[in-house]
Structure 1
């Protein structure tokens, strides 16, 4: 649904994007994670060409946006909704007036606008609040208005620029739940910019980790947590580094056909083999891709090699400190 190739964006001598490739599948929630200044928001603004890249191409739903003139680009942008970090609501308008604004710009007749606005406010949980002013709403309610406005033109793609960073944790959870529901019910493709790992863990199907204008790592959450030495896995499960020489780090998932947190693989290995096993640290997280755990152990004994082979054959990712992956 979104394909960016070789994106570069310069501001004078400053390089904000340095050869970025991004591939977002139709219907997924794709997170771009990174610290302030990593290039996340610049990448997002290049996707809908609010910022025109210095080099590279952007295709959305098969259409090359970088090849379009202004009039064609404006029409293409109607299929791309955008949610802003600080809501960007018009204080002079009511809630309904804010949601109606893009429909007015598109020339939609008044009766149809009113019907559509009513549907959207119901969809985001603000039915009956159309006559309120933005100052009468909480932060979470303001963001729901922003989401309703972004959906006004029936977009196939929704861009979210740090949409929850100004919200408290409970409200963040509520807004993320809404985005996940819209993704499921409307089939929306959502590209979500964030610096918060909890956002990625809660709703994302795939993720790209950015630093210094480049993507360091990308892929589905399920694949990355199974990749030895994945940065995503290290950040989700921050075990002490460096790992003690010879220690064993096990990564396991709750996917069907693979060992999960409830299966006794670790206790099995102690019963089956002449080894001693001590737990050094670990945790289990419930991700959008399912339950994932990471456990670091000390494993010693005459049958250590056989025990490691058994763990690998059981489907766990096995990393031994000091050994090549």
Structure 2
């Protein structure tokens, strides 16, 4: 659904060049929720704004729903952007308009008739759980309600793609979870492809199917979360399940979906080894129980036990 290739964005500031995005390739599949994770200044928001060409890339191409946006003129681009909704970090609502008026605004720009506009606004407010707030003004709403208005407005033109720029970073944890649940619901019910920018690992754990880690304008790794969990040396796994530095001889076991299986007790009995647990973590990620366990294994059957764990589909990494 989203194909970014060789993307580079350079700003010029007081005679010097600042490279915000540096040679990024990104593929987002139709109907998935894709999270781009990184710290402030990593280039995440610039990348997102390049996807709908609010920022025009210095180099590279952006293709959305099979259409290369970077090849379009301004008129064609305006029409193409109707298929891309945008949710902002700080809501970006118009204080002088009611909730219904804010949601109706893009429909007015699209010259949708009054009756159809009213019907669509009512439908959207029902969808985001704000049917009773149509006549309220933004100043009367909580942060979570404001973000729901922003989401409803982004969906007004029936987009196939929703871009979310740190949509939960200004919200408290409970409200964050409610907004993430709403996004997941919209993804399922509408078949919406969602590309979201975040610095919060909890967002990735809660709703993302795939993820990328961005640093200094570059993608460090990218892929479906189960694939990243199975990749040796994965940065995402290190971020999801932080453990202290491994001592020589320690073994780190990463698992996804095998959390209910007694694999450690099985290798103890089968291979006559002793297991000393040094640390571990377990979370639900991408809908499955996943985690890491760091252990010391001793005994004559150590190598056979590690081979057995690998054969069971667990990622086994030995510290040297």
- Common topology (TM > 0.5): yes
Alpha-carbon displacement from aligned partner over 1:14-64 (angstroms, at most 9, x marks no partner):
000110001000000000000000000000000000000000000000001
Structure 1 stretches of 4+ with a deviation exceeding 3 A read: none
The yes-or-no answer on 1:179 pairing with 2:177 is no
Partner of 2:242: 238
Contact 1:222 1:289 in 2 (8 A): no
- Tell me the secondary structure at the aligned position of residue 240 of structure 1: coil
1:300 is aligned, of 292, 298, 301, to 298
Partner of 1:271: 269
CA shift at 1:274, angstroms?
2.3
The yes-or-no answer on 1:104 pairing with 2:102 is no
- Tell me the secondary structure at the aligned position of residue 170 of structure 2: coil
Number of corresponding residues: 316
2:229 is aligned, of 225, 228, 238, to 225
Partner of 1:257: none
Once residues 226 and 254 of structure 2 are traced to their aligned partners in structure 1, the CA distance between those partners, rounded to angstroms, is 11
TM-score, normalisation: structure 1: 0.96
Once residues 261 and 30 of structure 1 are traced to their aligned partners in structure 2, the CA distance between those partners, rounded to angstroms, is 24
Alpha-carbon displacement from aligned partner over 1:195-239 (angstroms, at most 9, x marks no partner):
000000000000010000000010011110111110000111101
Once residues 169 and 3 of structure 1 are traced to their aligned partners in structure 2, the CA distance between those partners, rounded to angstroms, is 32
1:59 is aligned, of 44, 60, 63, to 63
Contact 1:3 1:24 in 2 (8 A): yes
The yes-or-no answer on 1:312 pairing with 2:310 is yes
> Aligned Cα RMSD in Å?
0.6
Gaps of 5+ in 1: 255-259
2:39 is aligned, of 35, 41, 62, to 35
Partner of 1:287: 285
Contact 1:221 1:289 in 2 (8 A): no
Partner of 1:200: 204
Gaps of 5+ in 2: none
TM-score, normalisation: structure 2: 0.98
Once residues 124 and 203 of structure 1 are traced to their aligned partners in structure 2, the CA distance between those partners, rounded to angstroms, is 17
Contact 1:82 1:160 in 2 (8 A): yes
Contact 1:30 1:191 in 2 (8 A): yes
Partner of 1:250: 253
Alpha-carbon displacement from aligned partner over 1:126-165 (angstroms, at most 9, x marks no partner):
0121100000000000000000000000000000000000
Partner of 2:5: 5
- Tell me the secondary structure at the aligned position of residue 272 of structure 1: helix
